[in-house]
């Protein structure tokens, strides 16, 4: 059967690409596999090692092909997620503006630069929206995300209002944004399950997907200024293959990380870590636990 998560990703993907839902069916809605065929692909738990020892408050791991949950801890608990909300913000901005559009950097980026990570965009300079998508996801640049929010909805507050309506209408019932970036302040929260949905929607967008695993990049303004950046994901380039990843951190949210990785036998899994003291170590522990204790048909 087609899962709820796949259905959401399909519908949002169609909306982003401005295609009818019936003509955009990446998971084969018109040719549903028999239940027994689907079940034959579900990973089977074959071991029961000592329980996972994590510092994270919430965690979730799932099989990408079947959407089978393989491990969860307080995965429906509402928590601040910091910059993981840029997964949702960029998907929404992507539905509202062309990557080729010219964006004028607004004065509002100064506040975002003071409060968190930025790439030193200069108010008044002009850049492409596409370069701002890259900067929002790869180094998690708050000034780039604010510039996109204002370019698409006129103000960050109007973007947030639209984003919250969008989240509620697309099945993200436990997600509330207070700003476009995830910076601390206001009422904002999500859950590991909702972050899973955000990650899959962004990953299924062929334009955004490369930015989720890219190590570095740059924004070059039409005026000639260059803003270089590197990824915040320390797992890139390690033994763990990263197909997609997004980080997030504030004092209130602590360390957060969402990834898609692939195992030695091609097992593709997604994982979310929220409220961690050491997100990268927690992620290694939970992923290795899955590979030790599950087998794939």
Catalytic residue among 58, 89, 136, 140: 140
CB 137 within 8 A of CB 233: no
- What whole-number distance in Å separates Cα of residue 89 and Cα of residue 151? 13
Residue 253 per-residue DSSP state = T
Q: What's the rounded Cα separation, in Å, for the pair 288 and 54? A: 12
Give SS3 for 11.
Answer: helix
C-alpha distances in angstroms, 47 versus 6, 85, 273, 290, 292? 28, 34, 22, 9, 7
Q: Quick check: is 86 catalytic?
A: yes
| Residue 205, CA distances (Å) to 175, 201, 240 in order | 20, 7, 23
Q: Report residue 226: phi and psi, to 5°.
A: -120, 130
Catalytic residue among 58, 86, 153, 231: 86
In the chain, count H helices and then E strands.
9, 11
Q: Is 221 a catalytic residue?
A: no
What are the DSSP calls for 70-126, one per residue? EEEESTT--B--GGGGHHHHHHHHHHHS-TTSEEEPPTTHHHHHHHS------TT-E
Q: Is 30 a catalytic residue?
A: no
**What are the φ and ψ backbone dihedral angles of 176, each rounded to 5 degrees?**
-135, 130
Q: Is 120 within any annotated ligand binding site? A: no
What single DSSP character describes residue 52? P
Contact criterion met (CB below 8 Å) for 94 and 148: no
Nearest to 273 by CA among 164, 214, 199: 199
From the annotation, which residues make up the binding site for substrate? 246
From the annotation, which residues make up the binding site? 246
Q: Please identify every residue annotated as catalytic.
A: 83, 86, 140
């Amino acid at each position: 059967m087609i899962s709820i998560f796949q259905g959401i990703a399909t519908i949002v993907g169609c909306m982003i690409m401005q295609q009818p839902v019936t003509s955009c069916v990446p998971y084969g809605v018109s040719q549903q596999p028999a239940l027994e065929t689907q079940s034959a692909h579900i990973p089977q738990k074959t071991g029961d090692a000592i329980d996972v020892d994590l510092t994270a408050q919430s965690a979730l791991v799932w099989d990408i092909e079947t959407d089978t949950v393989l491990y969860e801890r307080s995965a429906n608990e509402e928590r601040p997620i910091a910059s993981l909300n840029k997964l949702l913000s960029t998907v929404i901005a992507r539905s509202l503006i062309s990557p080729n559009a010219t964006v004028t950097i607004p004065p509002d980026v100064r506040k975002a630069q003071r409060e968190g990570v930025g790439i030193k965009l200069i108010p008044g300079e002009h850049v492409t929206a596409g370069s701002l998508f890259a900067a929002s996801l790869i180094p998690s640049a708050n000034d780039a995300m604010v510039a996109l929010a204002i370019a698409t909805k006129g103000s960050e507050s109007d973007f947030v209002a639209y984003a919250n309506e969008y989240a509620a209408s697309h099945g993200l019932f436990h997600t509330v944004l207070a700003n476009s970036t995830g910076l601390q302040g206001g009422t904002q929260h999500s859950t590991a399950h909702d972050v899973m949905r955000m990650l899959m929607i962004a990953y299924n967008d062929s334009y955004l997907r490369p930015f989720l695993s890219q190590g570095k990049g740059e924004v070059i303004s039409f005026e000639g200024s260059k803003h270089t950046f590197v990824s915040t994901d320390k797992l890139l380039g390690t033994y763990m293959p990263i197909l997609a990843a997004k980080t997030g951190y504030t004092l209130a949210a602590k360390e957060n990380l969402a990834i898609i990785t692939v195992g030695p036998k091609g097992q593709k899994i997604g994982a979310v870590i929220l409220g961690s003291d050491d997100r990268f170590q927690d992620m290694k522990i939970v992923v290795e636990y899955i590979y030790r204790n599950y087998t794939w048909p």
